[in-house]
Amino acid sequence: MALTSYQIGTATTEMSYVEDLLTNTVSYGLAPRGMAVHPYSYYHEASSGREYGDGYPYTQWEFDGLGASDKAALDAYLSTNQSAQLYIRTRKEDGSYALYEAIMHRPKQRDEGRYEGGIWQGVIYRFTMLIEQEEEEE
């Protein structure tokens, strides 16, 4: 059983706990350090000095260490693409978790961390275009 509620899936009925996907002894059972969902993609400062938000919400999941097989398990959601539409359950600003339709992005070289001793260190997966989904009551 996962300790946190971070989930990922290609359909809302096929969600997997992120911690359960990680089977390498380095990253086994580790949840990502997920930032809370940011309500806007961009912030603009007006000439009045006020700040305005624009764009869709986004978030990112950062892993301190991922074994190669665990990174491959997460990358499998992208297939051979640089990004893919899927569903995630991630943390909101108030600490609760919500289900979102999202675009997952393959870590770019700067976000992929470094590969050392069979371990990817500091890997960041970005999720953009978040649209919160209504969840059915059980």
Annotated domain spans of the chain: 7-132
Q: What is the per-residue pLDDT for 117?
A: 82
Section 56-66 average pLDDT: 91
Placement of tokens 């989930």 in the chain: 7
Both tokens of 106, joined, read 């393959």
Both tokens of 59, joined, read 């978030």
Over residues 12-54, the pLDDT tens digits come to 999 999 988 888 766 655 778 878 899 888 888 999 999 989 9
| Contact in structure between 87 and 102 (CB atoms under 8 Å) | yes
CA 28 distance to own-chain centroid: 17
The residue that leads in pLDDT, 27 or 134, is 134
Question: For the chain, what is the HEC assignment?
Answer: CCCCCCEEECCCCCCEEHHHHCCCCCCCCCCCEECCCECCCEEEECCCCCEEEECCCEEEEEEEEEEHHHHHHHHHHHCCCCEEEEEEEEECCCCCEEEEEEEEECCCCCCCCEEECCEEEEEEEEEEEEEECCCCCC
Amino acid at 88: I
